[in-house]
Amino acid sequence: MDAARVAAGVRAIAEECTKPGAKFLDIAGTIESEVVKQGGKNAFPVNISINDTAAHYTPCIGDETVLGEKDIVKIDFGVHVEGCIIDQAFTVDFGGENGKLVEAADAALADALAVMKAGVSVKDVGAAIQNAITSRGFKPIENLGGHSLEPYILHAGEEIPNTAKGSYVLQEGDVFAVEPFATTGAGRVDEGTYCEIHSLVNPKTVRLPQSRRVLEYILEEYKTLPFAERWLADMLSTSSIEMVVNDLVRQGILHSYNVLKEINNGMVAQSEVTVIVEKDGVKNLC
């Protein structure tokens, strides 16, 4: 799979540029342009989520945020080639105080992959994730989970929970992003107000010419895949982007991905790969 080859090359660059003092905008820019350089497209904006932020932080235009010396950072990126998506993530603990938390997320991923095969219920996969995390003294984040992937669809309907729940039975050929989240907090996330990522959910005719132009561009470039507001910077001024996005969100045309934070401000680690389900196991596509 072409996307897998691209993702593997990009992963090395992503690890290299994730270091204390690095600017979020530079990290996202480096990874996103590397995806294109290696022959893929970005399936969603690079998520750079630190500490108690679990997901959905991508830098905004003019973002001055830099990685701190003690941050625990999750880098989550997606590559697609003609709609076939590879979604993967890793966690780095700069301070060295959360090494065990990172290990718990990595172990949960390994244990999940070890039980996955055609005919296995996602409940049993969730149980393996939960057990790997709780046995190490942490909590799985119960309202986040892995997700099935289909061409051009990042969340295709089925879930790999972080706890023992769900009834879907894995089928041969299913493609899943498996992404355990472990935390030192309560084990739940809630939406924050920061929001830079959106996706098209309900295209319809719009009145404002500027909105119409942006909508056409999104349909053509991203289809239903998530995009960042800063990806529209070549078309519009920052204030126009805000106006158009608000207009499209208000009409129910765009869905917004607010940043997700652990409810007790616990530290969060994530480990993620994309796999295809086979008869006797899974094949790691990353």
Indicate which residues carry an active-site annotation: 76, 87, 147, 155, 179, 272
CB of 32 to Co ion, least distance (A): 14
**Minimum CB–partner distance for residue 160 and Co ion (Å):** 12
Report the distance separating Cα 236 and Cα 178, nearest Å: 36
Give yes or no for a contact between 225 and 201, defined as CB atoms under 8 angstroms apart: no
89 is an interface residue for Co ion by CB under 5 A: yes
Output 52 or 272, the one with its CB closest to Co ion: 272
**CB 146 to Co ion: min, Å:** 9
Segment 149 to 188, residues that bind Co ion, using CB under 5 A? none
CB of 215 to Co ion, least distance (A): 26
Please work out the total of residues on this chain that contact Co ion, with binding judged by CB under 5 A: 4
| Of residues 155 and 165, the one with the C-beta less far from Co ion | 155
**Near Co ion by CB under 5 A, which window of 84-92, 116-124, 130-138, 237-245?**
84-92
Residue among 103 and 272 whose Cβ is closer to Co ion:
272
Backbone angles phi, psi at 46, to 5 degrees: -60, 125
Pick out residues in 2-21 that bind Co ion (CB under 5 A).
none
To the nearest whole angstrom, how small is the minimum distance from the Cβ of residue 150 to Co ion?
Answer: 15
Tokens of residue 171, six digits: 């089928």
Report d(CA 270, CA 104) in Å as an integer: 9
Q: State the binding string over 44-83 for Co ion (x if CB under 5 A, else -).
A: --------------------------------x-------
Binding mask 95-134 for Co ion (x = CB under 5 A): ----------------------------------------
**Binding interface with Co ion (CB under 5 A):** 76, 87, 89, 272
